[in-house]
Amino acid sequence: MTTDLIQLPVAVVTGGARGIGLAIARWFLAHGHRVALLDIDQETLRRTDAALADAGRVLSIHCDVSQPDQVDAAVNQVAGHFGRIDALVNNAGVAVFKPIAQVSFEDWRHVMSTNLDGAFLCTQACAPVMLRTGGGAVVNIASISGLRASTLRVAYGTSKGALIHLTKQQAVELGNVGIRVNCVAPGPVDTEMAKLVHSVAIRSDYYDAIPLNRYGTTEEIAEVVGFLCSPAAGYVNGQVLAADGGFDAAGVGLP
Ligand code: NAD
């Protein structure tokens, strides 16, 4: 790696192969970072890696963030390849939208292990590497479903509510050593996940409930994440920033 590249900060983005995670990775690349993408979907990761035209600034690693051994191996690989980690975005997530009676224990564990265990494991693995260079920033991607309860989201909403509290726990403990931890709670964003779980009825409910009357874009979420990782947010720690078109402020419930 050339001397110029070695001086660039490093961001780790989980679930970075597509959707919001890919937009976050693009934001970091556009703002002078090197980026490690960790994703369970090897084929999409391969295509994304090829599309990013990175000039040595992207490292793509096949990793299931719910598996401690895979997370440790991936973070070791990032540290070995890039030599440092400055930012971690715990973005990898899955959604199951079903009535409580239809949620199997496997559904529940799948959602919890990806959305919650993944953020716990990745932060625990990355923090010691961040500390070698004096600290860093972590952003957990929650959801408005973690701020408000509604039907169909017993597993998803609970995992995101817990992720918001995990953010505060991490911020209090890691803030002491120079790692800021914050959370972004996006409203609905048109991605493959939204296509999977947002029925026509859910889409219509969101349009009615959101003061801006539209879905957000992946780029709009990435801008907020980028801000929280930047020196501009140097005194922001333990916060939940809802990027939701005003949904939370309006206080309108979803059926
Ligand atoms: P997406 O399904 O398009 O992308 C998620 C990515 O995470 C995929 O590349 C997937 O392969 C990866 N992933 C899933 N399980 C993984 C695992 N165990 N290990 C590693 N990678 C894994 O979804 P998205 O809409 O881009 O969502 C990104 C994040 O934003 C998620 O945490 C999601 O809950 C959150 N979010 C999304 C919306 C929305 O409306 N799209 C709203 C609020 C919050």
ipTM above 0.95, yes or no: yes
CA angle, residues 141, 119, 96, in degrees to nearest 5: 65
Q: Is the pLDDT of residue 109 over 80?
A: yes
| pLDDT of res. 7 | 87
Residue of 20, 64, 69, 244 with the most ligand 1 atoms within 8 Å of its CB, for mutation: 20
Catalytic annotation, pick one of 156, 206, 207, 215: 156
- CA of 161 from ligand 1 middle (Å) equals 16
Mean pLDDT calculated for residue range 59-88: 98
Spell out the domains of the chain, with CATH numbers in brackets.
Answer: 8-248 (3.40.50.720)
- CA of 191 from ligand 1 middle (Å) equals 9
Neighbour count for residue 117 (Cβ, 10 Å): 17
pTM beyond 0.95: yes
For the stretch 173-223, pLDDT in tens is: 999 999 999 999 999 999 999 999 999 999 999 999 999 999 999 999 999
Q: Is the pLDDT of residue 71 over 90?
A: yes
For the stretch 143-167, pLDDT in tens is: 999 999 999 999 999 999 999 999 9
- CA of 8 from ligand 1 middle (Å) equals 27
| pLDDT of res. 55 | 77
Helix (H) or strand (E) holding 36: strand 34-39
Mean pLDDT calculated for residue range 231-247: 98
- In angstroms, the CA 35 to CA 91 distance is 14
Instruction: Concatenate the DSSP letters of all residues of 55-112 into one string.
Output: TT-EEEEE--TT-HHHHHHHHHHHHHHHS---EEEE-------B-GGG--HHHHHHHH
Is-catalytic flag, 156?
yes
Residue 1: pLDDT band with limits 50, 70, 90: low
Mean pLDDT calculated for residue range 31-53: 96
Query: Could you give the maximum distance between any two Cα atoms of the chain, in Å?
Result: 57
